[in-house]
Structure 1
């Protein structure tokens, strides 16, 4: 099994999403033999995507390498903290490299068709507040966007492991982390069912 592990939080050692992606990858590796490719997109960010006419340029080659790693992965583990109600710019830059017409989707007579199906994506989502329900749910542009973008390229096996309310005091943070780690423990059960 090929695992692509992406972290996008700028908080380094203080990041909840990084802690969760590490636990998810450790469980995957514990369950079966896995080759893991890791990228810290916060410390080594991709530039914002721009059309590049020269396919021999270093940027075009890096774009192709990012896309190929994604295509080769069986499981993609993404650390996706919520920044200002959405995803990080680092994650958006990565998505711009993997959402490529003719490679991960195409337009046909019936509209768009995803070409990257068959992968499992596990997203470790960290949020300072609570956005999965209640009045703040209308401000969640993170999870719906990721589901839509991944679905557009054919990926339907998307699991979110959420740690919500991590900025709402120590008790709320601990409860969020416990719930997220419990959800990680259930990932194997869900896969086997």
Structure 2
């Protein structure tokens, strides 16, 4: 039995390639074995609040002495941290926006990267506490950034590897849907290639 967490973030709704491919993939993973569960968090329709002074102070304030606004925003953060910790497999979906991830997914990371909860500091430095999980990132982009002249503009991939790795998630696989703005044929090929890849990954899971 396995728990899959799907986190989508594209503002494009039903037109989003990353959301569509990631959702279909997560459902395949969930149906692969009896008893698997799927939890979905749609950051586009229900965005998390960007961190503010209440969050910054509240996470370091004892629960019993937090103000009402602090308790509210830390409570939101606690929920998404619990979702992450409960999952065995995480599927993240984002479009590349201005060479990086969506701001809604960045906000999710801000909420789940919590000292004492998802990472800790010790004599040997920081230690990630979110271990033993498989992460798939479905990343859609209008251009081609996996290689060639556009590769240096891809800040989404290294950022996610660094941020996820910092909290202990080092087994991260990227599923690219790239070149979707380069004509209808290129778009169709990019989507079908990504779906073919996820089909294989779901069978092997």
Normalised to the residue count of structure 2, the TM-score between the two structures is: 0.89
The counterpart of 1:129, out of the listed 127, 136, 143, is: 143
Q: State the Cα distance separating 1:30 from its structure 2 match.
A: 2.2
3-state DSSP class of the match of 2:110?
A: helix
Q: State the Cα distance separating 1:112 from its structure 2 match.
A: 1.4
Q: Provide Cα deviations, 1:100-132, integer angstroms capped at 9, x if missing partner.
A: 111111122222111101011111110100000
Q: Distance in 1 between matches of 2:127 and 2:141?
A: 32
Q: Distance in 1 between matches of 2:36 and 2:204?
A: 19
Normalised to the residue count of structure 1, the TM-score between the two structures is: 0.94
Equivalenced residues, count? 191
Matches for 1:53-92 after TM superposition, within 5 Å: 53=58, 54=66, 57-92=71-106
User: Residue 35 in 1 paired to residue 49 in 2?
Assistant: no
Q: Distance in 2 between matches of 1:7 and 1:116?
A: 20
Corresponding residue for 1:8? 9
RMSD, aligned α-carbons: 1.3
- Between 15-24 and 52-61, the greater mean CA deviation after superposition: 52-61
Matches for 1:145-164 after TM superposition, within 5 Å: 145-164=159-178
Larger Rg: 2
Unaligned ranges ≥5, structure 1: none
Q: Which runs of 4+ in 1 moved over 3 A?
A: 188-191
